[in-house]
Amino acid sequence: MAAASVSVPSIKLGSQGLEVSAQGLGCLGIPSSTALQGGGREMVELATKFVVSFADGKWEIRGDPAYVHAACEGSLKRLDIDCIDLYYQHRIDKKGLGCLGMPFFYGPPKPEPDMIKLIHHAVAAGVTLLDTADMYGPHTNEILLGKALQGGVREKVELATKFAVSFADGKWEIRGDPAYVHAACEGSLKRLGIDCIDLYYQHRIDKKVPIVQCTFPA
């Protein structure tokens, strides 16, 4: 019996409009594969991860530049390719700092210089994840973090921010339409003073918009 034909919809990712299938295949349970040979590589986008090192019978979380470089070279060699389409961090340090209470919500706004010192102290103490959102303030927390990330701090942390809670004309609104998500992302990048957000995720669910349209806007 012939296999049934299955049509998989496509989506576009990122500002360059990279087109990929809306469905992917996680390969954790596949011990080894030569599936990319014979033209298979040209038909797919390939993602792999780094940060979990195995040596001397022990697992270790590593993110130092020397390890990341060696891990990438190893992945390229094992996959027998010269370019990885999406190379990302598998784990982050367990220490993080949520920044909600800095500009508002828990009492009056705190002095900006004090909050920048707090962030710098946290990073010096080993915190490697800073979490914020465009609704915090709104917007003022991202501006604060943008100032705190200067002077080499950005290179020491993973940065997370969120979208979906819009504030306009004195009202809060949950939005997930593609035009809003694109504008919200651009706004966060500008306020944070960066060109890449490590983790950009949905703060609340807009039930009016299918999730695939919200998280992968055209």
Record the tokens describing residue 30, joined without a space.
């596949």
Record the tokens describing residue 6, joined without a space.
């299955």
Strands 96-98 and 129-131: parallel
Catalytic residue, candidates 88, 136, 200, 201: 136
Number of H helices, E strands in the chain: 5, 12
Helices (H), the chain: 65-79, 112-124, 140-148, 178-192, 211-215
200 is catalytic: no
Q: How many Cβ atoms are within 10 Å of 106's Cβ, its own excluded?
A: 9
Site of tokens 């020491």: 156
**Which of 88, 94, 164 is closest to 129 using CA atoms?**
94
Q: Give the separation between CA 48 and CA 26, rounded to whole angstroms.
A: 10
For 147, half-sphere exposure in the C-beta direction (CA atoms, 13 angstrom radius) is 11
Instruction: Report the catalytic residues.
Output: 136
